[in-house]
Structure 1
Amino acid sequence: MTGRVPVRELLGVREVAGGLLLVPPGVAGRAADELRLRWAGRELGRGRWEAVARGCSDVLVARRRSAGGGPPVLVKCPRTGEAVRALVRERDAVAVLGAQLAPSGLRELLPQTLDSRLGARPPVLVQGVLPGLPGDVLLARRPGLSAALTASAFAVLDEVRGATGGSSRDGRLVDGWLGHRLAVLSDRVRWCRGAEGTAGLLALRALLRSELTGRPVEVAWTHGDFTPGNLLVREPGPHPLADPSRTTGSPEITGVVDWADALADGPAVVDRASFALALGRLLDGRSWGAQTVQALRAGVLHRPETGGIPLSGALLAWLWHVSGNLEKSRRLARNRHWLREVLVPVLRELAGTAG
């Protein structure tokens, strides 16, 4: 999902499911969304909408319960062709990855597809509701758990890497990682086709190819948007002595959602770097762009919770972030604030360094 929910709103949320903040249907507003829900309801049969999440993406998400009872489900209604394609990628990635992870037990962390009608009118994807609280909501309430949440999240990454990972020297993989994502920036953002933007993109490609080609690179199934907001967690209980600064245990990861940017043979470092950059945004209020510029100047991305992450990992995570969001929604290409805070500073820094 693009954008973030203000902390003051996160603190008051009561309805959470599948990594999304849900509100009663009547609060959702927007006539077009109400019509989508009506159409989807006719397709899915008798039941009732319990909550809706409009969010900032091009996918309308609602929780629904069938007339016959049973557990609620998440219904995803894409608003645009880009959103349909993103949900197709998510559905297919979860199916393939789930089969690979089944022996390890990690399959339980993935959303379960219950019904897929993404080629119909209206297009709809139905998933099971995973338990837990979104990690960004947890950190908004209890920022002191950032190190413990990071440890739990990285333990999941280690398990996925152990089940699906390996090492590669194939430069064609690197070209595949970069080519499409750089093209998305150039195609969708006019500034990237100007002199400064083009110079920045060329410098980014040259730097990453130099860092990643001709040496072993760890590859594995990568999520592509591995951030606290896409993790569901079971919150640890309070300390027996009622000390609010202490807890019993660490946050337990109960689900990982939003797999639209997943890749079977992606660079393993990208998920750790994405998590580190997202922590900086959540805890310090620093944009992905500002943090990536600092990493370029320091030669490394560093946070207390994550330790040092190679510059190539930070740049890959930034590239995954901006290209993935632009691919899901064309609106960001016209969002001057997002471009000014997240995209332009990094390419300007790269262009200046190359010059």
Structure 2
Amino acid sequence: MQLKQRVRPRRGAHQSVAHQPVSQRSGTRRPVGRRGAEPRAPQRTRHRRVNHLLRTGHLLTASSVATSGLGAAYWVFVARWYDPDEVGRGYAAVSAMMFLAGFGQLNLANTLVRFIPSAGSGTTRLIRRVYFVAATVTALLAGIFVVAVRDISPQLGFLRSPLAGALFVLAAAAYAVFVVQDGALTGLVRADWVLLENAVFAVSKIVFMVALAAFPVAEGIEGSWYAALAVALLVTNWFLFTRAAPERTQRTAATAREPGPTPGYLAADLLGSLFWLVATTLMPIEVLDRVGATQSAYFSLAWMVAYTLFLLSANMGASLIVESGDDEAALAVNCRRVLRHSGRLLLVGVGVGTLGAPLLLRVFGPGYAGSAGWLLRLLLLSALPNLVVTCAVSACRARRRVWAAAAILACVCGGAIGCAVWLLPHVGITGVGYGWLIAESCVAGVLLVRRAWWMGRVPAAAESAHPGRAASGRLADLLQASTRRAVRLCLWPADRIAALHLVRAHDAAGPRWQAVAGALRAVRTPSDLLVVPVRREEPMAVKCARTDRAHQTLLRQHAVLAMLHADGRLGPWRGLLPRVIDGEYRSRPTWTVEGWLPGTSGTAMLRARPGLGSRLSGAAAEAIDGLHRATSRDEEVGAAHLTRWVDEPLALLEREMRLARPGPYTAAIDTLRADLHAGLGGRRLRIGWVHRDFHPGNVLFARDGRRVTGIVDWAGAVPDGPIDLDVRLFRLAVRRETEGRSFGDLVLEGLRREREQGETGLLLLAWLWHVTDNLEKSARFTASHLWTGRNVLDVLKAVAR
């Protein structure tokens, strides 16, 4: 069980002088190297922040684990010396006290973390006021709870006795102060006392519980908590008001006081904290009322064990807020680092805990292992998505988007409690584990897909300093890939029905089984064209547009093929082009019938035999050279060329990317435009018909790969493009298939090589045409964060740098 709600330091919490970089201390100077230069200070500062981020999180986690370990020892003794019914009622009473104190302190613990550093001479007065408000509100709430306890939770009816009720009200008020003083100590930069007070509280609980177990005391569990609270409060507040607060006041007496938080800020932050408090502290009471005290005991101790992993996420989130401050660039980098680093630790912890769940619970007794084993496994698994949820909430708080943080916690709370209440009557306490796992996973999935909404953008310089994709990026890409597969499965029946109608319309004389077989062989291309094989006198392919963009693709391809077939300069070379037999372009759905070109696509051949890359590249270059030699001429690149080649595709790229992934693309696109204009303007190039999307998937080869039998997909072809682009693009695409690298990665590698040789322009233009053609053909490219991230954003960031 979590001993107390972990205080999350707020954005703006000041560090002590000892923890500040040398350059930020008053009266000191940054160390200067020889010749007055600053020797790599930015890099050292970055590494120092990285280490401090993880070190702070690990120290807080070590404190929580130590405290949880002592708490686990406490409940081991309780489980051995008390009956399960008494354990369940005692745990529920303690949970009610924690809930009332957590709500009654109005999230003022985090407020102290945020505003004590700038309170100056009013530090002690601020702490006392917060103590008074937290204790008073909590006492009122606890009094109302005690009066109505038989209606709220009949199992806790023993609290209606005068002595038990009065002690419960006083203990709830004291626990509110106990929670708030953590925020005071953190704001006073004495986090070491947070660990000490928790240790004193945990050890005192064990001592008093052992002492009370020797006497016939009915409420021994609650009594041990009450007595331990008194000891911890006396020791901690003696130090706080006699030493920590006066010392802080003396150091910051001249500091300008900052205005307090706005009511809207406090309301939103309180609401978010309340949602999480409801989800974590009211569940034992719900289990107690629905399935009884014994099952509540089994649930409570399993929850206590699993919550240790939740503390890792909470502490890393607190460190994230402290270390990121107002720097959103640092926040984005640190979010990814926390997700990657903490995710690895959680994977180990979840794996070990899942395998050893019965052994962990057997410590409390044989009944716990048999009844709560699967519950513990499910709760441990839910700690993985909880890392994403906690990181998102911390990032929103750091960016002062407290209403967004409250909305995230509301979704988790509503989903977990709703699923648990629905499943409890059917599967018992295991349903609570299912509810937590389902709620956390759904919210985390949405947050990963839309991670830029809460995380922000990683700056280009930061990504170059820290290469590699974060765990969140990989998981989001996997989620999106699964979503696309699901969408394709949903579209499959509609595509088969459309293909069956097309085959029947163009192969009416054939038997029924041929129509069904042709429909089953239909393929939806990346450009949303449904390609259906049809057999009549000769093999044909019927292409049907399934979207509006595919309709435009068919129209452009029909126009291009008509011009190429009418160009007498091409002669026999036109045998490599698709031959249009029939088509319908004015009504929907749009379709066209083309002669079936023989051969196998280069992509299929490369996947079967990657060693054919050089052979296919040579054959493809020789085949497309016939088109280039017949139509090319020497021209100087002028303003008209740059408008068609650069400006119009860049406008399309910016429009599509803003629809796909909102972000600051203007600067990068302006830089790209300037680079292309400078690299191409005024040069003399060979200009002619260019395919523009010349890659192995659009080229058909003979079985040995030495001869090209057809070239398809001419929708993006233009009559006045640099003819060198087709061969460049084909070679890059071959490397993409054989090396398993993204197109954007290969382009970046080629750009570095070109810049070293002093040549720029053509490779960037080939990349621009390739990505804009894909974005224009199908909305699936625009919607894919995986594709746009690897092939578009990476290149834009490199250009911006």
Q: Tell me: CA distance 1:102–1:163, structure 2 relative to 1, closer, same or farther (3 Å).
A: closer
Q: Is the 8 A contact 2:692 2:718 kept in 1?
A: yes
The match for 2:589 is 122
Q: Does 1:254 align with 2:723?
A: no
1:30 is aligned to 2:492? yes
Q: Which aligned pairs between 1:65-84 and structure 2 lie closer than 5 A?
A: 65-66=535-536, 70-84=537-551
- Once the 2 structures are TM-superposed, how far is the Cα of residue 56 of structure 1 from its aligned partner? 3.2
How far did residue 55 of structure 1 move? Answer: 3.6
Residues 288-307 of structure 1: pairs in structure 2 closer than 5 A: 288-299=743-754
Aligned partners of 2:698 and 2:713 also within 8 Å: yes
Q: Give, in angstroms, the shift of residue 175 of structure 1.
A: 1.6
User: How do residues 129-148 of structure 1 correspond to structure 2 at under 5 angstroms?
Assistant: 129-148=596-615
Query: What is the CA–CA distance in structure 1 between the aligned matches of 2:569 and 2:641, rounded to whole Å?
Result: 26
- Name the amino acid aligned to 1:349: A
Q: Structure 1 residues 188 and 29 mapped into 2: Cα distance closer, same or farther (>3 Å)?
A: closer
Q: CA deviation at 1:144?
A: 2.3
Residues 569 and 631 in structure 2, CA contact (< 8 A), matched pair in contact too: no
SS at match of 2:641: helix
Match of 2:632 in 1: 165
What TM-score, normalized to structure 2?
A: 0.36
Q: Distance in 1 between matches of 2:711 and 2:523?
A: 18
What's the secondary structure of 1:121's corresponding residue? coil
| Alpha-carbon contact 2:542-2:592 (below 8 Å) kept | yes
| Counterpart for residue 778 of structure 2 | 329
Name the SS for the 2:567 alignment partner: helix
TM-score (norm 1): 0.79
Aligned equivalent of 2:795: 346
Letter in 2 for 1:259: W
Gaps of 5+ in 1: 1-26, 237-249, 302-307
- Flag the 1:254–1:141 CA change in 2: closer, same or farther, 3 A: same
Shift of 1:42: 5.8
TM-superposed CA distance for 1:324, in Å, is: 0.5
**Shift in Å at residue 188 of structure 1?**
1.2
Segments of 4+ moved more than 6 angstroms? none
Query: Please, which moves more after superposition, 202-211 or 185-194?
Result: 185-194
Q: Distance in 2 between matches of 1:274 and 1:252?
A: 19
Indicate the SS of the match to 1:217.
strand
Structure 1 residues 41 and 289: alpha-carbon distance in aligned structure 2, compared to 1, 3 A threshold: same
Cα–Cα, structure 1 residues 156 and 311, in superposed 2: closer, same or farther, change >3 Å?
farther
Match for 1:209: what amino acid?
A: H
Say yes or no: does 1:219 pair with 2:674: no
8 Å CA contact 1:36–1:122 kept in 2: the answer is: no
Which of 733, 750, 758 is the matching residue for 1:278?
733
Matched, 1:199 2:667: yes
Higher RCO by CA contacts (8 Å cutoff, separation 6 or greater): 1
Normalized per residue, the structure richer in helix is 2
Distance 1:254 1:294, change over 3 A: same
Q: Aligned with 1:266: secondary structure? A: strand
Query: Structure 1 residues 350, 311: CA separation in 2 closer, same or farther (over 3 Å shift)?
Result: same
Deviation at 1:28, TM superposition (A): 10
**What does the per-residue CA deviation read over 1:75-132, in whole Å, with 9 as the maximum and x for residues that have no partner?**
1111111111111111111121122256531100000001110222321111000111
Q: What are the residue-to-residue correspondences of 1:174-213 with 2, within 5 Å?
A: 174-190=642-658, 194-195=663-664, 197-213=665-681
Identify the match of residue 59 of structure 1 among 512, 518, 529: 529
Please identify the structure whose Cα radius of gyration is greater.
2
Question: Shift in Å at residue 291 of structure 1?
Answer: 1.1
The equivalent of 1:93 in structure 2 is 560
- The structure-2 alpha-carbon separation of the partners of 1:309 and 1:63, relative to structure 1 and needing over 3 Å to count, comes to farther
Q: CA deviation at 1:212?
A: 1.1
Give 1:9's aligned residue: none
How many equivalent pairs are there? 303
User: Residue 75 of structure 1: SS of its match in structure 2?
Assistant: strand
* Ranges in structure 2 where 5+ consecutive residues have no aligned partner: 1-488
Paired with 1:309 and 1:135, the residues of 2 have a C-alpha distance of: 33
Q: Percent of aligned positions with the same letter in both sequences? A: 35
Q: Measure how far apart 1:34 and its partner are.
A: 2.7
Q: Deviations over 1:28-58 (max 9, x none)?
A: 9723213322443465461544221124331
Task: Tell me, yes or no, if the aligned pair for 1:75 and 1:127 is still in contact at 8 Å.
Answer: yes
- Matched residue of 2:761: which SS? helix
Asked whether the equivalents of residues 61 and 74 of structure 1 are also in contact (C-alpha less than 8 Å), the reply is yes
Equivalent position SS for 2:741: coil
